[in-house]
Amino acid sequence: MFRLQSSKVLAVDMTGDAVKAKNGSMVAYDGEMAFKKLSGGGEGIRGMVTRRLTGEQMTLMEVKGRGTCWFADRASEINLVSVQGDKLYVESSNLLATDGGLRTGTEFTGLRGASQGNGLFTTTVEGHGQAAIMSDGPAVVLRVSPQYPLTVDPGAYVAHQGNLRQSFQSGVTFRTLLGEGGGEAFQMRFEGDGLVYVQPSERNTIAGDV
């Protein structure tokens, strides 16, 4: 159902089924399609309230019909992720599309610092199907094992899946070590067994340069 037309364009072939995608990300379609805006981006009232409280905003649309839709967003690189009964955690700005059967929601992932108004909750995708996530440059998939935990710069973090425990360490970041840090510094640490997706470019964060 999901295929890459290029590294920056997602093609979704539909035969009467549906797909959920970031609002405004469709660039073309053929065939017969119907469109519906999904308020809040998650399931139910709790998801909508959670997003409003935390600033984790993600507006999705549902596309249903027969034909092919093409999706893209700001020329970002697109990565296909298989979700097979597990849960995918992804920054809301990095989620492009999911199979219509996958459930999206929010989950508390830990306090990232008192001065930050975002990131307390992460978007979740669960069920069986495919998701398309975006990255600024080609994403790198890093394996985490019990013997080798992983520490990630939050500006480079995109998503993770598997049996992982996520925590936040304050005080030192990669840029701080180079004398370029500012604001409230922290790192993301992953332990367990799973995959972490990172991008080769850092996004800006509310806490300053991290």
CATH code of the domain containing 95: 3.60.160.10
Q: Give domain status of residue 205, yes or no.
A: no
Buried b (16+ CB within 10 A) or exposed e, 13-29: ebeeebbbbbeebbeeb
Q: Give domain status of residue 203, yes or no.
A: no
Look up residue 49 and give its two tokens. 């309230």
Digit-coded pLDDT (tens) for 141-192? 999 999 999 999 888 999 999 999 988 877 555 555 555 554 446 788 999 9
What's the average model confidence in pLDDT over 198-208? Answer: 64
Nearest-10 Cα torsion for 4, 10, 15, 19: 130
- Out of 8-12, 121-125, 137-141, 192-196, least confident range: 121-125
pTM equals 0.81
Q: Give domain status of residue 210, yes or no.
A: no
Q: Give domain status of residue 207, yes or no.
A: no
Q: Give domain status of residue 204, yes or no.
A: no
Burial class of residue 86, CB neighbours in 10 A (0-12, 13-18, 19+) = middle
Domain that holds residue 16: 2-198
Q: Give domain status of residue 42, yes or no.
A: yes
Q: Give domain status of residue 63, yes or no.
A: yes
Question: How many alpha carbons fall within 13 Å on the CB side of residue 144?
Answer: 23
Q: Give domain status of residue 209, yes or no.
A: no
Domain count, the chain: 1
